[in-house]
Amino acid sequence: MRKNFKQKEPQNRINYFIKSQTVRLVGDNIENGVVDIKIALKLARELELDLVEISKGDIPICRIVDYSKFLYDKKKKEKELRKKQKQTQVKEIRLRPNTDDHDFNFKLKHAKNFLSSGDKVLVSVFFKGREIAFREQGEIILLRFAEELEGVGVPESLPKMEGKKMVMMIKTKK
């Protein structure tokens, strides 16, 4: 036997592990209301099911169900909820202060695709060497990029310098 082994308490208390003297019974073919724990356990035994504590409180809410089926349904619901959630990703588009119009339009098209699929776009202008003197050009490019994306996205933040690059975050328009 392992030392310092503590058995993990189940998420929902069942049957005799419910510590309260009275419980609120809810369910389909059961009379709903506050009853004594002994009566609730007797009812569960007669139906050959388990008394499961659904929520804790002064008077815990309990349901008479098959515990393994209850756990299965609970896991199934959680899996469905996780499936419906969408993780938003941040896609980065890199530009230079002297980016040509064709390249600009090409990257703009990609940004529109990213925003339409629900992702955020981080647009950044990199400055190499002496290009850092042309900060105004970088800011103009970023503001022009945001203006072109006006129908699809909204700037989350204004252009700001981070080291040798100027960045701006754009999120989807609701």
Range of the domain at 144: 90-172
State whether 102 and 166 are in the same domain: yes
State whether 96 and 51 are in the same domain: no
Residue 32: give its domain's CATH number: 3.10.20.80
Of 32, 67, 102, at which residue does a domain stop? 67
pTM listed for this prediction: 0.52
The model's pLDDT over 75-129, given as tens digits with 9 standing for 90+, comes to 898 888 888 777 778 889 999 888 888 998 999 999 999 888 888 999 999 988 8
Neighbours of 149 (CB within 10 A): 20
Neighbours of 121 (CB within 10 A): 28
On the 0-12 / 13-18 / 19+ scale of CB atoms within 10 A, 93 is middle
Q: Report how far residue 104's alpha carbon sits from residue 96's, in angstroms, rounded to the nearest whole number.
A: 10
Confirm if 52 and 28 have CB atoms less than 8 A apart.
no
Please state the rounded mean pLDDT for residues 53-58: 82
Structure tokens at 146: 């945001």
Q: How many domains does the chain have?
A: 2
Structure tokens at 143: 């503001």
